[in-house]
Amino acid sequence: MKRATAIRNAQQIAERLRSVTGILMTLDGNRESVRIKKAWVFGSTAKGSDNPNDLDVLLECYACGEHRHPNNKRSRNNASRIGIAKTNKDYLKRYGIIVGHDALFVMQIWLGVGMKMVRFHDFTIDGNLAHPRKMIYPRWEL
């Protein structure tokens, strides 16, 4: 990947976050919405490499609300009102347990649509390891 492509993808991710003001409705996920407070680019792109291997994006985000699954007896009556998470068929096939898609995973898919070699990282897990980093949302420092 060339640096210009990595910068263009980072700008596109920042524009998508600004278009929803950092709050993404995840109707297919197990939570109603995801709130993204900050987003950074780190790794070879932030260091200034001419040919970065990929675009590493660090997200500080929180899932809010809860969707009930149709197998939950309380939610069958209110399904049309509150919305229902779609079944994660891969998890069902592997473990035999019916759960909804993870809202953070649904959000990452939406942010990365149409881009190749973009890796999303969680701030709570990778926050200490991601240096140097440049903020792309809510302000642009790259």
Per-residue pLDDT 10s for the chain (142 aa) are 899 999 999 999 999 999 999 998 887 777 888 999 999 999 999 999 999 999 999 999 988 877 655 554 444 444 434 445 677 788 888 888 777 778 888 899 999 999 999 999 999 999 888 889 999 999 999 8
User: For the chain, which domains are there?
Assistant: 3-66+99-137 (3.30.460)
137 and 36 Cβ atoms separated by less than 8 Å: yes
CA distance 69 to 30: 8
- 4: closest CA among 50, 53, 54? 50
